[in-house]
């Protein structure tokens, strides 16, 4: 987590660092922080299927099933091979 924070201090638009930090937040149950990171990635890279999938996972964890389904659908649209979605 510290390394991603350091990378983002150098470049706040580092989509890879944001996505990975968001995944760590989600893993730690910090779903609001995860959503903030995934939202930021989607602004920077609006065609990033992985971030839509990850955001869907965070929404699902918050019991926001409709939002999760929309994100999973977008992930599949962007990458038809996105099997987990």
Q: Phi, psi (5° rounding) for residue 14?
A: -75, 100
Please report the pLDDT score of residue 2 as a whole number: 83
Contact between 38 and 54 (Cβ < 8 Å): yes
Domains belonging to the chain, first-starting first, are: 2-78 (1.25.40.10)
Separation between Cα atoms, residue 75 and residue 47, nearest integer Å:
9
Residues 41, 15 contacting (CB under 8 angstroms): yes
Per-residue pLDDT of the chain (85 residues; tens, 9 = 90+): 788 888 888 888 989 999 999 999 999 999 999 999 999 999 999 999 999 999 999 999 999 999 999 999 999 999 999 888 7
Q: CA separation (Å) from 24 to 37, 66, 70, 85? A: 10, 23, 22, 19
What's this model's pTM, rounded to 2 decimal places? 0.89
CA distance 19 to 77: 19
């Amino acid at each position: 987590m510290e390394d991603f924070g350091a990378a983002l201090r150098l470049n706040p638009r580092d989509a890879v660092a944001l996505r990975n930090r968001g995944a760590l937040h989600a893993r730690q149950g910090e779903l609001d922080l995860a959503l903030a990171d995934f939202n930021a990635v989607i602004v920077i890279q609006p065609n990033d299927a992985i971030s839509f999938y990850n955001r869907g996972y965070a929404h699902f964890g918050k019991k926001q099933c409709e939002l999760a389904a929309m994100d999973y659908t977008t992930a599949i649209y962007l990458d038809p091979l996105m099997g987990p979605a």
